[in-house]
Structure 1
Amino acid sequence: MPSRSDITYFGAGPALLPTDVLEEAAGALLNYNATGLGVAEHSHRSALAAGIINQAKADLASCLDIPDDYEILFMQGGGTGQFSTSVYNFAGAWVARKYKEIFGDVQGDPTDHPELLNQLKQAVDDELKIDYLVTGGWSQKASVEGERLLGSKHINIAADARKTNGGKFGIIPDESTWKLSENAALVYFCDNETVDGVEFPTFPKSLEPGPDGKGPIVVADMSSNILTRKIPVRNFSAIFFGAQKNLGMTGITVVVIKKSFLPPTISQPSPTLMRYLGLPVPPIIFQYETAAKNNSLYNTLSIFDVYVAGQVLKKLLRIYPNKVEGQQAVTDKKARLIYDAIEAFPEIYKIIPNKAVRSRMNICFRVTKGDDIDAAEKAFLEEATAQGLTGLKGHRSLGGIRASNYNSVPLEGAEKLATFIRGFATS
């Protein structure tokens, strides 16, 4: 029976957590701060819980240099839940802006002004669009959910990698080919595709704000590469990510959103108006303004999960004085070690995505040693497991091998995997 120290886990998620954080959390689960109760047993309404939330928010803001005009929310439902939540909230924000444009200073019940109301409905029918950049399985699922909620007429697939890559993912289409809407309620992209091993190398030029600070409303899913590199937060209207890759445990989802999309700057339209316009009304727990007004405590939040995330953030800040940039240097070094080992044997291994967009986080490749790929990959996995290198099997939809290079995988673990890759190729 292997011990924890014998294993280097490369699974795509839930991911490895630092052992010292887990040891600290185990004690807190039994007796937090000598209160006689574990952290999971304290009321989420208590000052203790609020303190854990506020400290985690402050440390995340410090790690990522999040500006003061952004809010941090802890929600539930994972990244998949945000496929719906972002549609609900940003479609509502689009309607609120269009309402103000059409109604101006007109006060009172909008039904008292049928001409203006009909003008608004026509604008929604003709102009409301959500743009998706489809570069892998997760962005594809996000676009399907958007269509399910709003209908196909409101969904614009601005780019689809499969159309220029033989029906498969593995590239990011050139920005010159993107067909972005003029005034989209949001432009969604998945910054790192966990299944397909594709990562945006940098923030897309065509989505950058202009000199006046204005630009597209950009929402990104960073579930699998958050806290692994410095990001231009101001280029985004919202960023969301599940905690279970680089931040903590399954159970909480973080949203970093520009405050201009929250009250008092803007509020969601009334349910009555949304129903009249033929648009869905979000569940109250999926309203960003509800979460913001209640410091993420409208419903019972798992304070233990926030606590664990907070401990991970404290460790990152403690180890790297330059915060996420320090982690980025280590992440990039680990990725280079693994990719260099694979590339050294082109007759044995084949990296799946195009080199220009290879993910640093999810390294996807096939083992082509011999005539039987399935047998070769089975042998690779069995021998890797025997050496304590686990979680390397590729996603069921893609097959092959996938090494997930999350923050808690130590440099020594990446070195061990690289050595194994080289040794397997020459055995």
Structure 2
Amino acid sequence: MTTFKEKTAETAEKRFTLAEILEIVTGSRIPVRFTAYDGSSAGPADAPFRLDLKTPRGLTYLATGRGDLGLARAYIAGDLDMHGVHPGDPYDLLKVLADNLVFTMPPPKVSAKILRSIGVEHLRPIAPPPEEAPPRWRRVADGLRHSRTRDAEAIHHHYDVSNTFYEWVLGPSMTYTCACYPHPGASLDEAQENKYRLVFEKLRLEPGDRLLDVGCGWGGMVRYAARRGVRATGVTLSTEQASWAEEAIADEGLTALAEVRHCDYRDVVERDFDAVSSIGLLEHVGVRNYPGYFAFLQSRLRPGGLLLNHCITRPDNRSEPSARGFIDRYVFPDGELTGSGRILTAAQDSGLEVLHEENLRPHYALTLRDWSANLVAHWDEAVAEVGLGTAKVWGLYMAGSRLAFESNGIQLHQVLAVRPGGDLPLRPWWTP
């Protein structure tokens, strides 16, 4: 017969189920249905969304990955399923979690029991999914952060996925930067064309002018300017982008006015450009390199020449610029973001005069919405082209980024500056 003391000891040693652990750390405020491979479940039975932890390996990823990294690893590896959303656009599920899920630290004794319940074997890190980049300290083999070699490797990780894949996600414009929607019902292509129009007008470009576009991607701005009689030179560190852009330039009959080079922007030797555009490059430069970046671009301009810098920013100027977790390991290795104030300061300290800046944050949320819709529409082809893991990375990344822009977690600023020495109109000359 079991004694009271033995029953008490047995109860004390009984492990929590995985669902019970989730209930403890969330205060039982679980907005989705959660099921686990140990047979336990939590959350409303009729919830529209469900998370299904399928394997012990998934538990190890969740237990050892800091922040969003553990969830990303388990999901990308196929150990955690999301139900109720398409893998190409899990926005609705992520929004429910972001709005309602709050984790709290339980008392020490409960925390200790949680660790025992999880098991020491699940507290030792294991190899991540193959889509993950090494941690920053292991990237030294590619050079110091933001060295030319390491920057090239970071660009390769993200941009040399597959031009075909990007065509499906980005649409005909092949533009992988924030669009500018002229009205809420505008299509993605309309909005991207409008963005190029806005940059073109802000730079006061005229037929015969010379434009340098650094970080030019697939040459969208270069080709837009060349169609309007501007001699445009673009540079990119991505071999696939440069190849695609040169072919597009030839197909459009623009070779007399446009070119895209596979090189570092710092290798451009020409000077006296009428304008420089930088659309989505600064995120890859590194904050400590801002002075050299702006000084170099300023040196490429003629007196009176204009610079348009378009990049993602943080909503303050105090946060640590380096990205962490999922974004750094799966999306933009070595990417850095800072507030618009630090960008303005660096531009001014390089000798540029800042004329205008604006925040296009809501437009990036709409852009990501439309890219996600494109991925959903081409999901089967995308998986066949780049693999299920990479396709899931993109679905997760774009949906999460859309949430971040909507909630003012990140912003998108355009900064217009001039190299002093010319006359400009007294007031803004472009159509907003």
Q: TM-score normalised to the size of structure 1?
A: 0.28
Higher relative contact order (CA 8 A, sep 6+): 1
Higher Cα radius of gyration: 2
